[in-house]
Every structure is written in structure tokens, then in C-alpha cells.
Structure 1
């Protein structure tokens, strides 16, 4: 049996843990405007390192092709991709703005059609506002949100550049933190495991999302939906949100199709096509390719999605899986937190 002093020590340890966890959550919530761009900057930096490693795989050694040049080219590739995507994205938004009046008229027509077979007088509700004004306000709101996203992207790229400039000193700082060679090698191994897990996850997920969004783009183009690249990009981005991302990215284009075509047949075709593609990609292809590399319980993924979504919003949903994977790897390395890592893992199997 435990004596009173041991019980008191356990209670104090538990209370201290809860206090520290609460403070950490508050810091994460209040500091989200600084922390979120930094995390995305780190992710872009990891992607740059992955691109840079491809130069080594094709035989371009540092002797003939210096590391700084590989870094420069890898960064230029990432920046070029962001710029190209941004330009196409902007042109698609302009296309949506150009047809905003037509969308407003179609919205009014749909409300009238719904009113004809509904017991509720939807048209009376619609008369309380101008549908064209509603569509215009919505598009204006979307543009404002996009401007915020663009400014955040610039901040993320700046963070990435600063991380690249600091990259060469990371090993020296880790060695200074852990002078003992064995401890240093162990911590370096943990960092490499984290990098490998995150880059593998992002690489596989990005490849599957790219294929899915490309096929979706073709379907939306054939269906005649305006701004197909805009919707394909949304499908690509929402592919990184577990479970609910597929639903959101399938329903949004389908709902927009109702407003554009003022009918339901095209919407149902788009919904069925996109839903089928993403179901096959998410439930058949992805599990076979990714296997058990993430080692995270599905229940934990859902809880993580809700938690990070609550404190960080949509960016938190995107980051929920990578953060949980990092937690499993880090917690598995310490005896005091190994139990938490086992709970978070998929089958209770963790590397020591």
C-alpha cells in the first residue's frame, strides 16, 4: 500500500501536469497567429529538403553540384509552384466574380422553384434580401479571406527562408544541448524519425490528393462548372483533413453547381463522381500505399481533429495528423510518457 506521502506526491504531480497542459493550450490558442505560420514554414522547409534529396538520388554530388545550389533550386521550385498556383487561383476567382449576377438570378429561381412545392414560403424569406447582393457579399467575403490567406502565405515563406538560413547550425545546437554522444545520437535519431514520418505522410498524401484533384478537375471541366481549378484546389487541400475533408470537398462543388446551372441533375452527377473518386482514393488506394506508417488510432485522429480544429480552426484540422504522429514518436522515447504513446498508437506497438 502507498503511504500518505506517496499519494500526496502523485496528486501534486497530476495537478502540476494539468496546470502545465492548461497553460500550454492557452499559449497555443493565443499565439496561433504566430505558431501556425511557423509550423507551415517548417513543413515547407521539410518539403524543400525532400526535393533537395532527389538531386542526390540522381547522382548530383556536392563536389560538382554544391549543397547551397541544391537548396537554392529546391526553394525556387517550391516558390514557383506557390506562385503558379496563386496566379491560376486568382484567375478562377475573377471568373466567379464575372458571373456573380447570373448566380444571383439562378439563386432566386431556385428559391421560387423550392417555394412551389414547399409548405414554407421560402420566396417570402428571399424577398427580405436581394439575392444579387447576397451573392456579391459572399464573393466579397471570399476575396477578403483569400487576401488573408495570401498574406499568411507570404509570412510562411519568410519563415521558411529564415529556417533555411539556420539549417546549417541545427546539428551544432543539438550537440551543444546534448554533450553526451549517446544522448546526442538518440535525439538526432528521433528528429530524423519525425522528419521521415512527416515527409512520407505529406508525400503520399500529396500524390494521392494530386491524382484525385486532377481527375476531379477533368470531371468538373467536362461538366462545365465554372472555375474548375478553384474547386480542384479545394479538393486537394481538403484531402489533408481526415474523414470530413472528403465530404466537404464533394458537397461544395455540387452545391455550387445548383446555383450555376439552376438545376439538380448536374449537381448530382458531380456529387456522385467526386464522392466515388475520393472514396476509392481514401479507402482503397491510400491504405494500401500508406499501410501502417502513421501508427495512429482512428479514434485518436478524430479527437485530434476536433481538438486542433477547436483551438486553431481550419489550419488545425490540416495539422492534426502530423502533430499526432510527432506526439507518438516523441512520447515513445521517454519512460514517463510511453503509456500515452501506446494509447495514441493504432495497435499499441511503438518503437523504443
Structure 2
């Protein structure tokens, strides 16, 4: 009598079809899922900041840690937005003044290459007719504002419902051993994402400060504006580093008559990126992230294609979450091994939250206070 169980090929085909279907759904409903994903990302940041405040400021009451983290996060984001908005106005004005210089550079480049000189910047602008794109730009700004509102709404509901997570875990996993495994997986995901955020933030500050010093010494206009953009771009793997190295020297070519400021700036920024990216960041990151660099690149391309710029920001945290979740099941553990850097998706350091059956007198720990579930 033939077996009714599906074959390995059938199961693999079903998994592939399910992944494709999920990708299509995520793309079609990206306007809904993107704000939710960003809100979850911000909630993890606030939760990690709250626990950091409790460790660094033991005098702070536990009930005040989360509100303090929320206020501090809002203050940081608002301050960065104000600085960018103030400097962006000057930046736009100076770009208009760079027109003659850009025309001269294009003529010099055409002469060196032996090709016909392109049209002037003014002629190109007239042909492009930017007025017809103003409505599209306005719609994009309106969409960004509405997305930010949705992110804040989602974030508020997530923070308000976080106390119910503990009871939901108890209801979903009545067995203590299964519950302990679920909590262990949650902690691994949370710790991986928080470690990634911590490393990217600290190294981003290092790169931004060093770049600001170099740009200020050279005399580049809007050095603070560029430093803020470099810091924000540092959260995007690979692309952020390219933008941080290439953009300021290009504008230095427009600002200065000599090529030396741009050359010096390019060399210094490249050196800063190399030292931080290849020496400091691996030492800080250690073995906590444990993601294959190829997987990080593919995740960046995939989530960038599905969700655009927000997907690029979230690509690495999503890859970390996927690796930890896939490692929990025997049927998908091989995928987690391929995603990991050294073939160990679950490290020995995770013994702080063991997956083995706990002794009878032991009780699992909740997500926040450490009280028994």
C-alpha cells in the first residue's frame, strides 16, 4: 500500500511556493506591513534602552525606565530631524550656486575623454521640466508623513500591549519546557537585534564624528549635515558606507577650485570607513551577529526590492530573526546553518536561556522583570 505522506520533493516544492506567496503578500501589502515592522523595530530599541537605563542608573525606578526611554528616543529623533531640516535649506541654496562650477567640471571631463561637452545644467533643468514632478514629490512627502503617523500609532499600541505578552506565552505554551524554549528563542532574537543596533549606532557615531572633523578641517560646507546623513546611512549595510565615502568628496569638487580638498577628503573618509568597518566593528560585534556576509548582502537586496528604503534598514535584523527562528525546528535547521557565518546558528552563550528541560524547581523567566512565569 503506497504511503500517503508527501515526499521530500513535494515538501520542498510546497515550502518554495509558500515563500514566494509570502513575498508577494509582503510586497502587495507593503503599505501596511512596513509601518508595523518599523514600529516593532522601534519598540525593540526602546525596550533595550529601558533595560540599559536600569543597568546604568540603578536609582531609576523600574516603572520609570520605559517612559524615560520613550522620552529620550523622541528627543534624539526630534533633535536629529530639526538639525537636518535646518541644514537642508542651506544645502539646497548652495546646490543652486554650484551650477557654474558643475558646468565647468562637465566641460573639463568631456575634454579629457574626447567627447562632446554635455548641455549646461540650466539647459538640462529646462528640458527635464521639474515642475511636472512637483506633484509627485508632494505625494511622496505626504506618504512619508502618513507612514510616520502609522508607525507612531502602531508603536503606541505595541508598547501598551507589551504586558499581555507574558500571559499570551503562558496560554500558548502550557508546558513549562516548551515555554522555556519559546522564551529562549525570544531572548536570542531580541539580543541579536539589540546587539546589531548597538554596534551600528556606536560605529555610526564614530564614523560620523571622524567624518565631521575631516570635513570641517577641509572647510566643506554643511559638514554637520553631511555627518548626520553619514550616521543615518550607516544603518544600511554596504550602501551606507559607499554613500558616506563618495558623496562629500563629490561636493568638495563643486565647492573648491582645487582637486586636493576632494582627494584628501576621499582618502580620509575611506580610511575611516576601513578602520571602523574592518577593525573596530568586528571586535565589537564579535560572534554575536554570526551572519554570513553574503546573506547580509542578499537580505539587503531582497528587502530593498520588497519594502524599499525601510526594507534596507530592516534587512539585517530580519535576517537575524529568521536565522534564530529557523534554528528552532529540525526541518529548517539546515537553512539556519547556511545563513550563519560559522555553521552554529545557536551559540553556547545562549545557555543563559537553556533549551534543555529545566529542573522541577526552576521556573522560566519573563521578558522584563525576571519573575517566574
Fold in common (TM above 0.5): yes
CA drift of 1:247 comes to 1.7
Which of residues 227, 238, 241 is equivalent to 1:246?
Answer: 241
The answer as to 2:68 corresponding to 1:65 is no
TM-superposition CA deviations, 1:8-61 (whole Å, max 9, x none): 533332222122111101011112222222222112111211221133224546
Contact 2:26 2:306 in 1 (8 A): yes
Q: 1:1-352 residue pairs with structure 2 within 5 A?
A: 5=3, 9-58=7-56, 60=58, 65-67=61-63, 69-123=64-118, 125-126=119-120, 129-130=123-124, 149=144, 151-261=146-256, 263-351=258-346
- Distance in 2 separating the partners of 1:70 and 1:114: 57
- Distance in 2 separating the partners of 1:106 and 1:180: 71
CA drift of 1:328 comes to 1.3
- Distance in 2 separating the partners of 1:109 and 1:282: 36
Change (3 A) 1:66 1:10: closer
Contact 1:46 1:195 in 2 (8 A): yes
- Distance in 2 separating the partners of 1:143 and 1:270: 35
User: Runs of 4 or more off by more than 4 Å in structure 1?
Assistant: 3-8, 130-137, 139-151
Partner of 2:367: none
Contact 2:195 2:289 in 1 (8 A): no
Using CA pairs below 8 Å that are at least 6 residues apart, which structure has the higher relative contact order?
2
Contact 1:37 1:155 in 2 (8 A): yes
- Distance in 2 separating the partners of 1:344 and 1:51: 28
TM-superposition CA deviations, 1:83-117 (whole Å, max 9, x none): 10000000111111222331222212222333443
TM-score normalised to structure 1 length: 0.88
- Distance in 2 separating the partners of 1:221 and 1:171: 50
- Distance in 1 separating the partners of 2:339 and 2:197: 20
Contact 2:54 2:62 in 1 (8 A): no
CA drift of 1:196 comes to 0.9
TM-superposition CA deviations, 1:295-329 (whole Å, max 9, x none): 11122222222222222223222222111111111
Contact 1:104 1:135 in 2 (8 A): no
* SS state at 2:207 partner: helix
Contact 1:107 1:262 in 2 (8 A): no
Contact 1:109 1:262 in 2 (8 A): no
User: Higher mean Cα deviation, 145-154 or 196-205?
Assistant: 145-154
Contact 1:95 1:226 in 2 (8 A): no
- Distance in 2 separating the partners of 1:55 and 1:242: 28
